[in-house]
A and B are shown apart, each in its own frame.
Chain A
Amino acid sequence: MSPVSGRNRKQKGANALKLGMYFRRHWQLYALLILPISYFLLFKYGPMYGVIIAFKDFNFFQGINGSKWIGFDAFREVFAMKDFYKTLRNTLMLNFLDLLLSFPAPLILAIMLYELKSVWFKKLSQTILYIPHFISWVIIGGIVYQVFGTQSGMINNIVTSLGFDAIPFLTDKNDWLLTYLLVGVWQSAGWGTIIYLAALTGINKELFEAAEVDGAGRLRKIWSITLPSLKPTIVTLLIINLGNMIAIGFERPYIIGNTAVREYSDVLSTFVYRIGIESGQYTLATVVGLFQAVVGLVFVLGANYASKKLADQSIL
């Protein structure tokens, strides 16, 4: 028996003992985790074999196992489609613009609400501001048309009566970008304030009083007290949003988008809808989904790493 392995064995034994003691002391924590983790394993990992569809020529009746294996053929096919790259570019572009505009909006709005003096006005505003979140996109589509339409839209009616040319909010692809973003802010800003407002309730009011004594103005107080206390929330949401850069919801581009601006409004989700779901071609749809999943995961891990280094915060 070599002294090295002997020591190792003893070490292992001691470690095992430590581990045992650890579990015995903290068993409640693991007990709490049993059901949640089982949920993930059963309902999320259970169906995950479905990603194999990306590598098979899916036949409804032969099922996933019976369908023919085609390796990366479907990937080659998708990556050869010009439309794929166009929709990829649009996805990233729209998400990036959203990050610039739609991400700060709820934050700013939340702080504004927080600063409101009148309690009843604050409560009323909060409730009304998130109504747009509840209106289904199909209906929003109709409303957008009525507001932004070139010929008889509300805004253009005002513009033309002032003597200017009508602005093609919906039919010029660049103007459309603005419309898309504004509608996004309108729809989600109010709702997004909820999480920030919840975080803001935890601020110690005494900090404000102390700052007042030091002669700080309103904006100063917001900058040095309110914002920092929201840092954890902001960073977490930012990481998750960055991870979602490659994914994009289906409804907003589909509903707000239209034929005239397809150059910009066609995104990965509408692409999948067209070539995959509508044509029943699950293989192609799964390929794009898999692509998005891998890229998204890489993004999130990257963002998480950056945040760990820069802001000392991480979700992993």
Chain B
Amino acid sequence: MRERHASRTFDVINAIAILFFVLICLAPFLHIIAISLSSARAIMTGEVSLIPVDLNWNAYKQVFSDMSMIRSLGFTVMLTLLFTLLCMLMTIAAAYPLAKTGLKGRKPLMFIIVITMFFSGGIIPEYMLVRNLHLLDTVWALVLPGLISPFYLIILITFFQNIPDSLEESAQIDGSSYIRTLVSIIIPLSLPVIATLSLFYAVGRWNGFTDTLMYITSPEMYPLQLKLYQLVQNNMVSELMQMEGASGQSMLQPESLKAASVIFATVPILIVYPWLQRYFVNGVMIGAVKG
């Protein structure tokens, strides 16, 4: 009885603490949503905190009627899918052999990989490479250079190493080849971490745009985050406006439009994690060993 009481106290405290964190994580998001639905006057006066003031949907109407935003959304989704798929294929293909500590040549290969985590050539040589491969202004310029993250690779290797050897051995006794073992046993057992790394790759690609700035010139291929960045950064500080002789009117971006674009660019990727959660299935591995 005593233990149950203590256990319940633990649960309550735990839940309250989590609730607190949830609220401080949610609050800024609500704030941005509130801004996206408020009037310019209220925003400028600083009246808007968590609820919209002078509620209006103009900003969203503008975003959704902007065909370039919609197109960019479509393009970004495609790009992210392609990227995540290829990255995971490559990362899994590399992690499986490298997880085997007995593999000949493993140490030098790991070394080669770890070095790239620190040393890089810089933007100009990287640009030259992409250009010499004729990848400029193509979708491959956004996919190939980041194909494998050494960091994620190492995480996957660690996970693979923690799969009991007995599973592999029994498969091999049954005559299974390496590749077959990988596909039919190892991957299914590693779904949680594969789902996680896919999420990491996807989010990285979804949020990233600095490479686009360098490699892409066609506006049709601007990812969503780049368009967002342009909107937010081009908040022409008035000094800049003067310096650039603007007439003023066409250059000011309303805060509400910026906020609406932020929501537009963030919500899609936010939904991915809950969807992936079903891959975090408990107990799959244990059953296999037992059997």
Contacts and interface: CB of A to CB of B under 8 A. Distances in A.
Interface of A: 19, 22, 26, 28-30, 32-33, 35-37, 39-40, 42-51, 53, 64, 109, 112-113, 115-118, 121, 123-136, 138-140, 143, 152, 186, 189-190, 194-195, 197-199, 201-206, 215, 217-219, 232-233, 236, 240, 243, 282, 285-286, 289-290, 292-294, 296-297, 300, 315-316
A47 B125 contact: yes
Interface of B: 3, 6-7, 10-11, 14-15, 17-19, 21-22, 24-26, 28-29, 31-32, 46, 90-91, 93-94, 96-98, 100, 103-104, 107, 109-122, 124-126, 128-129, 144-145, 147-148, 151, 154-155, 157-159, 161-162, 177-179, 182, 192-193, 195-196, 199-200, 203, 207, 225, 228-229, 232-233, 262, 266, 269-270, 273-274, 277, 280-283, 285-286
Contacts of A132: 25, 28
28 contacts: A26-B103, A28-B177, A32-B179, A32-B182, A33-B94, A33-B97, A43-B144, A44-B116, A45-B116, A48-B119, A109-B21, A112-B18, A115-B14, A123-B277, A125-B19, A129-B22, A134-B203, A136-B228, A136-B232, A152-B46, A201-B192, A204-B283, A204-B286, A233-B155, A236-B155, A240-B154, A296-B117, A315-B158
A296 B26 contact: no
Contacts of B3: 215, 217
A133 B144 CA distance: 25
B283 A116 contact: no
B254 to A, nearest CB: 15
A116 B29 contact: no
Nearest to B273: A127
A25 B235 CA distance: 62
Contacts of A26: 103, 178
A206 B30 CA distance: 41
Contact of A127 (B28, B100, B203, B274): B274
A115 B232 contact: no
Contacts of A133: 203
Given A218-B6, A218-B10, A315-B110, A36 B25 contact: no
A45 B114 CA distance: 12
B118 A40 contact: no
A36, A39, A51, A118: most-surrounded residue (chain B CB, <10 A): A36
A47 B18 contact: no
Given A32-B97, A47-B129, A135-B28, A202 B285 contact: yes
Given A32-B179, A115-B14, A47 B21 contact: no
B126 A50 contact: yes
B232 A49 contact: no
B94 A36 contact: yes
B266 A135 contact: yes
B103, B124, B232: most-surrounded residue (chain A CB, <10 A): B124
* A interface secondary structure, majority: helix
Nearest to A115: B14
A171 to B, nearest CB: 19
B266 A236 contact: no
Contacts of A130: 25, 273
Contacts of A43: 129, 144-145, 147
A139 B90 contact: no
Contacts of A285: 122
Contact of B22 (A125, A194, A204): A125
Given A44-B116, A198-B195, A198-B280, A131 B25 contact: yes
A29 B100 contact: yes
Nearest to B99: A29
Given A125-B18, A134-B207, A36 B118 contact: no
Given A51-B122, A129-B21, A132-B28, 14 more contacts: A33-B97, A37-B109, A45-B116, A47-B126, A48-B121, A49-B121, A125-B22, A128-B26, A134-B203, A135-B29, A198-B280, A236-B154, A243-B117, A316-B111
Nearest to B90: A36
B21, B232, B281, B282: most-surrounded residue (chain A CB, <10 A): B21
A33 B266 CA distance: 35
A232 B158 contact: yes
A282 B116 contact: no
A91 to B, nearest CB: 15
Contacts of B286: 204-206
A206 B282 CA distance: 12
Contacts of A123: 274, 277
A138 B233 contact: yes
A289 B112 CA distance: 19
Given A132-B28, A232-B158, A116 B18 contact: yes
A206 to B, nearest CB: 8
Contacts of A35: 90, 93
Contact of A195 (B15, B125, B155): B155
Contacts of A134: 203, 207, 266, 269-270
A39 B144 CA distance: 8
Contacts of B19: 125
B97 A30 contact: yes
